[in-house]
Amino acid sequence: MVELRPEPQYATLARQTETAQLGMWVFLATEVLFFGALIFGYYIYRISYPDQFLLAGQDTKLLLGSINTALLLTSSVTMVASIEYVKRDDIARAAAALFITALLGFAFLGVKGYEYVEDYRDHTVPLLNFLLKPSQHPPAELFWLFYFIATGIHAVHLSIGIVAVLVMAFHTRHRRYSAAYYSPLEVLGLYWSFVDAVWLFLFAAIYPLGRAG
Amino acid sequence: MLLPYLISWLVLLVLLGISVLSAYLPLGGFHPLANFGIAVIQAAIVFAIFMRLRDPPAIKWVFAGAGFFWLLFLFGIGVIDYLTRAGFPAG
C-alpha cells in the first residue's frame, strides 16, 4: 500500500486531485480545438462539394462504423464503472472493468483495421490506390483523405488510451488505488470518454452519408 | 450506483440507432444537420454524465467551456461567407 500523502506543492490530497482534473480539462480544451478545426474543415469541403461527398460517403462501411460506435460507448460505461468500484474499494471489480475497457478499445481497433482493409479493396485509399468511380470527380478523393486523417488520428488517441488503461488496470490490481486515492483513474476516465465523444462527431460526419437513394 | 450510467448508455445507443436510420430517410440537405445534431446531444450526455461535469468543482466548467468558446470563433468566422453571400462558391 502506498502511503497517502499529497505532493509537497499541495496542501491536501483533495487539492491535488482537483488540480489533476483541471489539468486534464485544459488539455482536452486544446483537443476540442484540434478536432474542431479538423471537423470544421471537413464540413466546409462538404458544403463546397455536396454531391461528390455524398457519392464518396456511400462507400463507407456504415455497419462497421456503427458497431465501433457501440463498442466505444460501452467502453465509456466500463471506464466509469471502474471508478465507481474503486470508490467502494471493490478493487477486483475495478481492475476487471479496466481490463474490459481496454478489450473494447482493442475490439474497436480490430474492426477499424478490418474496415481499412475493406477500404483498400474498394480502392478508396488516397495516394495508395484511389480510383474514381462512375460519376465521381476529384473532390470525392478529398472525402477519403479526410476519412483516413480523422480516423487515423482518432485511432492514435485511442491507442494511447488503451495503453494507459492497461497500465492503470495493473496498478489497480496491485492496490495502488483505493477509495482514499484514485485520482489518476478519474483523469484517465476524462480522456477516455473525450476520445469517445470525438468519435461520435467523426461518425456523424463520415458514415450516414448518401444512403437515401 | 451504476444505474445513471446504464440509462445514459441505453439512450446513447438509441440515438446511434436514430442516426443510422436517418441516413436512409429522404431528408435531403438536412442530413448533415440531423446527424451533427444527434452527435451534439450524444456528446453532451458523455460530457455531463461520463465525464461528470455535473459534479464539483464547478470551475471545471470554465476549463471545459473555454475550448468550445474559442471554437465558436472558428466556426462563426469560417461560415460567414457561406451565410452572407448568395451563390457561393461560384460555379
The tens digit of pLDDT for each residue in A69-123 reads: 999 999 999 999 999 999 999 999 999 999 999 999 999 999 999 999 999 999 9
From A116's Cα to the closest Cα of chain B, the distance in A is 20
Would an 8 Å CB–CB cutoff place A64 in contact with chain B? Answer: no
Check if the beta carbon of residue A23 is closer than 8 Å to that of residue B64.
no
* Its pTM surpasses 0.80: yes
Residue B85 has pLDDT above 80, yes or no: no
pLDDT tens digit string along A151-195? 999 999 999 999 999 999 999 999 999 998 999 999 999 999 999
Closest chain A CA to residue B4: A77
Would you state the pLDDT for residue B89? 57
The residue assigned the cell 475495478 is A94
Q: Can you tell me the distance from the alpha carbon of A135 to that of A137, in angstroms, rounded to the nearest whole number?
A: 7
pLDDT band at A3 (very low <50, low <70, confident <90, very high): low
Q: Can you tell me the distance from the alpha carbon of A212 to that of B28, in angstroms, rounded to the nearest whole number?
A: 8
pLDDT band at B58 (very low <50, low <70, confident <90, very high): confident
Q: Which residues of B touch A205 (CB under 8 A)?
A: 32, 35-36
Q: Can you tell me the distance from the alpha carbon of A204 to that of A199, in angstroms, rounded to the nearest whole number?
A: 8
Average pLDDT value for residue range B22-35: 86
Q: Can you tell me the distance from the alpha carbon of A48 to that of A53, in angstroms, rounded to the nearest whole number?
A: 9
pLDDT tens digit string along A128-143? 888 888 888 899 999 9
Omega into B89 within 30° of 0, i.e. cis?
yes
Q: Can you tell me the distance from the alpha carbon of A55 to that of A21, in angstroms, rounded to the nearest whole number?
A: 43
pLDDT band at B87 (very low <50, low <70, confident <90, very high): low
Length of chain B: 91
Residue B51 has pLDDT above 70, yes or no: yes
Residue A14 has pLDDT above 90, yes or no: no
Which residues of A, range 180-199, sit inside 8 Å of B by Cβ?
189-190, 193-194, 196-197
Would you state the pLDDT for residue B88? 56
- Helix orientation angle between B3-22 and A62-87, rounded to the nearest 10 degrees: 170
Whether A43 and B32 lie within 8 Å, measured CB to CB: yes
